[in-house]
Amino acid sequence: MNDIAHPQPELLSLSAVLNALADPIRRRILVRLAAHAETACGGFNDCAPKTNLSYHFAKLREAGLIQTRQEGTQRFISLRRDEIEARFPGLLDSVLRAAEEEEGV
C-alpha cells in the first residue's frame, strides 16, 4: 500500500484551506464528498478532465480537506469533516452551503 501524506489536523493552515476552497471545481468535489462517506476518484469524472482532477485532489489533500486511501490500483477519497470542524469551527458548513447555492443544489 502506498503511503499518501496528509497534514496533521493541528498543522492545518487557514490560508491553505481558503486557497483550496477558492476553486469552484474543488468546492463541487467537497459538496459531493459531504453527501457520501467515501468515493472512488473515478466518481468525479463529470467534474473535470481526469488529469485536472488529480491536481484538484492534490490541492484538497495538501490543504487537509480530504483523506486519500489507496486500495490496489484505486484511490478513494473522503472529507475530513471532523478535523476541519475542530480546527476551523463552522467554516466547512458555511462553504458547503454557499457552494450548494451556487450550484443550485
pLDDT in tens, 32-74: 999 888 888 888 877 887 888 989 999 999 999 999 999 998 8
* Helix, strand, coil % in the chain, rounded to nearest 5: 60, 15, 30
* The predicted structure's pLDDT at residue 2: 56
* The predicted structure's pLDDT at residue 105: 55
Is 72 within a domain?
Answer: yes
Is 50 within a domain?
Answer: yes
Is 8 within a domain?
Answer: no
> Which residue's entry shows cell 480546527?
87
What is the mean predicted confidence (pLDDT) over 9-35? 92
* The predicted structure's pLDDT at residue 21: 94
Other CB atoms within a 10 A radius of the CB of residue 2 amount to: 7
* The predicted structure's pLDDT at residue 1: 44
Is 4 within a domain?
Answer: no
SS3 7: coil
C-alpha cell at 66: 480530504
Other CB atoms within a 10 A radius of the CB of residue 84 amount to: 22
Is 89 within a domain?
Answer: yes
pLDDT tens digits for 1-11?
Answer: 457 888 888 88
* The predicted structure's pLDDT at residue 15: 95
Is 83 within a domain?
Answer: yes
Is 43 within a domain?
Answer: yes
Looking up residue 48, the CATH number of its domain turns out to be 1.10.10.10
List the domain range (segments joined by +) for residue 30. Answer: 13-103
Domain count within the chain: 1
Is 96 within a domain?
Answer: yes
DSSP 39: E
